[in-house]
Every structure is written in structure tokens, then in C-alpha cells.
Structure 1
């Protein structure tokens, strides 16, 4: 079995998540052009999020393939896709509710408690689903959850950067380029942080995680 390769992990995972992020980006464009009602837009984006998760999971599995820590692709990819669905459903909830005409009082502390709880669930959804695959197979597998929470919390910041600089008057190509660049930065951040965790795993004389 080969040793874990940080450059391989960062390169493959960044590429996979960047490509996956294009699915929701395209989903936003399609829903806007097609004029989907808010409820259907929400469902459509959750499905797009599952596609993003599947590509991320596939990239991670490929980056670990052949190493002592390789994961079962047939379980890892669906787990990642399923984990991405609640993340996107919660992430889309505020804007979808507003589009439906729901009056959200952001001055109410209870609203912020709900948002905070939702943010926690959003951040833990993917690594928790992946943990189901890792547990019992990898020493210290529980650490994968807080490591990913930190990685995604840092990475998602980049997706908010273009917002203040684009509006309806921004050329489509410029807007798309801005969000694609933000997606790549997000993907690279997540890849580096999670890769550092994999690199720190002790190499034990155990069978690899079979695919």
C-alpha cells in the first residue's frame, strides 16, 4: 500500500469539489431562467447539492485509493451525497422562506438561535454521514467530524465574498467567474485542512479499508 500523498489529496479533492460546486451554480442559473417557484427551486437545489456531494466523495475516495486509508467507494460516495442534502436544504431555507413571503424577524434572538442550530447541522451533516463509513475501520474516526467542521467553516467564507460585488447589472460571465473562483478557493481550503488530518494518521499494520 502506498503512503498518503498530500499533493494528490489536495489536487484531486480540490478538482472534484470545484467541479461539484458547478452543479449548484448551474442549478441557480437554471432555476432562475426557468422561473421555478420557491418550493421547486429549493427541491432542485437540494438535488444539485447531492450531486456536488457525490463528486466530492468520489474525489476523496480516488485520492485515498491505493493507500492504507482507502475508503469503500460504493459506500463513501452515497454517504457524502446524502450528507450534502441536509446541508443544502438548510442553507437554502432562509432565502426560500423569504421568497415564499415568510416574514423572518432577524431582530428576534430566537431566530438567531434557530439559525445557529441550523448552521451547526449544516457543517456536521457531510462528515457525520461519512463517519458512519469510517467508524470501526479507522482509529480516531470521530475526529473526522470536527476537522471537517473547521474546514468547511473556513472554506464557506469564500462563497460569500463575491456577494457584495455583484448584482443584477453584473455581466453573466463576470458573475459566473467570481463564484467559480470562490468555489475553487473553498474547495482548496477544505482539501488542505482535511488533508493535514489524513497525513497525521498513524500508519498501523492493519488491512486497508476495502473498496
Structure 2
């Protein structure tokens, strides 16, 4: 069965592409028994960071007409044709600028239901961050989850980079939004909060160089203790 992974979160700068890269690394490293290829697609028209990774052949989907800053939602037809007709697993990174157009397209065209009916396993990944972006990201997750058919698997990534992912002393799993969607949430992935002086600094350096973990470990750009 082909699996389609969407990274969906309307708030910018919360770690969506970082999440996509972690997912890409995990799937790439665990494909020994998987008969279908893995394809990665970057739909961000502004910050196409995912497509800058050289470790994987990330394809950039052009969703703007030449010379225009307006997103042409008809370009998503090409994406749907690919998802419906090719036997492959997909990781689709989506930026803040294209979140609303893609969400509208998926909802108005019942695109997710079409994928499920075609035998695709659909997974939606959403990032929730601490700090000032907490409210926007948790509302974004709630809205996205509410738009998805029951067959869709939900994955929540908690990113503490900007602060603890909590509200009024409550952890995510104690919140009403988690309890509302709990039956469909397959996993809550907590990104470790590392010291900014050591591991955190190395992580930022790795992200700036667009390197996956295995390449960073073998690179002479990082010290033995990195």
C-alpha cells in the first residue's frame, strides 16, 4: 500500500521542514522490505528549504505561474495525478504561504477521500510549538484535524524550541484538543529540547547545511563530540 505523508500547519517558522526532513530520514533508513519507491515533494513557493537537501531527490512543485506571486490551485491537480497514479510513498512538505490554498484544494475537491478510496494510506503531520506560537499552532492542528476524513491518520510533533509545549500547566495529552482527536492520533512525537550551547548548536549547524544525521555524523565539518 502506498502511503502519502502531508506536513500541514498554517503557522510559519515552526519546524515543518525540519519535521519533513526527520520523516524523510526515518523512511529512507527503513525501506529494506518496502517494494515501493520513496518520493519527496516541496510545495513551498517562498522558502523551498526541503528541496535544498541534497541527500534525497526532493522535487519542487511549481504552484505559481511564471511572473506571478499568486498561487494557482490548478497546479495541485498535477500533484493529485501523481499521488493517485504512482505506486510510491510520498513526503509532501507544505509552507505557510501555500497552506491555505492546499487546504482549500484538498477540502473542496474531497481529495483526501479520493486518495483513501484509491487505496492510499494518508498520514497528516502537524507541528505544535511552545512559546508565542502555541495558540496559532494548536488551533491550526485542530482546524486541520477537523477537516480530515476519519480514515486519515494524525501525527503530532511537539517542538519545544520556542518554549515548553504546555498551557496553564497542562501537557498536550491533557488538553481538550488532544482528547477530541485522540482516536485518530497515531503518535505524538516529542522533539527533544537540547542545550543551545552544545547539541542544539550542532543541530542548527546541521540544519543550515541541509544535512541528514547520517551525513553529519560522517562529515569532517563536525567534531567527534558533536
- Fold conserved between structures, TM > 0.5: no
Q: What TM-score, normalized by structure 2, do the two folds share?
A: 0.28
Which structure's residues are more often strand, by fraction? Answer: 2
Q: What TM-score, normalized by structure 1, do the two folds share?
A: 0.29
Which structure's residues are more often helix, by fraction? Answer: 1
